């Protein structure tokens, strides 16, 4: 976007110059992907559309992120940056891990900037097999395995998944279906009720 932005390219493979757009172009592509998937849904989003929205060549999108499914996975992951956040959630007193998980999950959904792409992910996963597969094989598996690796319990992945299922169900009822009283409940009241459940799953032997 600054002095080293190359002239716009309209076709062909990315040259070394295009690749040298570096982190700026990468970030623009991810932001564009996030917006496109959120606004148009999985099915109607294309690499070409993402490239156009980011102001880059479609080949550069492929170059950085691969297939549409891989772009989708990257766009989902950038939404809540698990690589940064999950270690922070996992660190800290083990007896309060359930509370930290509940608090992190709700904070991501309460923020309109992250809620909207997450809603798009949920919609896509429920209606499109391909999006469900990406969510399962890239996003969720990595997330669950990262959490499970830290748990000192039998069947850690199963337990991490049960915790995740509760939080996904809360997102469904609170943000998608908007069922009361859950939809208007104070996040702290939800955390107070749900944290012990999550703690039972991730903290018990």
Q: Which residues bind a copy of itself (CB under 8 A)?
A: 122-123, 125-127, 132, 135-136, 140-141, 144, 155, 157-159, 161-162, 164-170, 172-174, 176-182, 185, 189-190, 193-194, 196-197, 200-201
CB of 29 to a copy of itself, least distance (A): 26
- Tell me whether residue 6 or residue 175 sits nearer to a copy of itself (CB atom): 175
CB of 168 to a copy of itself, least distance (A): 4
Q: Quick one: how far is CA 199 from the chain centroid?
A: 23
- Tell me whether residue 88 or residue 185 sits nearer to a copy of itself (CB atom): 185
For the chain, the straight-line distance linking the first and the last C-alpha, in angstroms and rounded, comes to 52
- Tell me whether residue 38 or residue 54 sits nearer to a copy of itself (CB atom): 38
Distances (CA, A) of 67 to 5, 36, 58, 62, 121: 24, 15, 11, 6, 17
- Which of helix, strand or coil describes residue 14? coil
C-alpha atoms less than 13 angstroms from C-alpha of 136 in its C-beta half-sphere: 8
- Tell me whether residue 13 or residue 200 sits nearer to a copy of itself (CB atom): 200
Count helices and strands (H / E) in the chain: 12, 0
CB of 137 to a copy of itself, least distance (A): 9
Q: Are 108 and 80 spatial neighbours (Cβ–Cβ below 8 Å)?
A: yes
CB of 140 to a copy of itself, least distance (A): 5
């Amino acid at each position: 976007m600054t002095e080293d932005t190359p002239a716009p390219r309209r076709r062909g493979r990315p040259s070394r110059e295009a690749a040298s757009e570096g982190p700026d172009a990468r970030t623009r592509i991810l932001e564009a992907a996030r917006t496109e998937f959120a606004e148009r849904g999985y099915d109607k989003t294309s690499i070409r559309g993402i490239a156009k929205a980011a102001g880059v060549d479609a080949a550069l999108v492929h170059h950085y992120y691969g297939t549409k499914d891989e772009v989708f996975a990257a766009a989902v992951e950038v939404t809540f940056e698990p690589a940064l956040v999950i270690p922070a959630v996992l660190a800290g007193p083990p007896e309060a891990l359930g509370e930290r998980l509940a608090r992190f999950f709700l904070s991501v959904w309460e923020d309109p900037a992250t809620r909207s792409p997450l809603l798009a992910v949920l919609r896509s996963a429920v209606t499109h097999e391909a999006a469900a597969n990406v969510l399962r094989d890239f996003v969720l598996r990595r997330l669950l395995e990262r959490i499970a690796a830290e748990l000192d319990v039998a069947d850690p992945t199963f337990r991490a998944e049960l915790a995740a299922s509760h939080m996904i169900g809360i997102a469904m009822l609170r943000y998608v279906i908007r069922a009361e009283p859950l939809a208007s409940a104070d996040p702290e009241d939800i955390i107070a009720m749900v944290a012990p459940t999550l703690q039972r799953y991730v903290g018990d032997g």
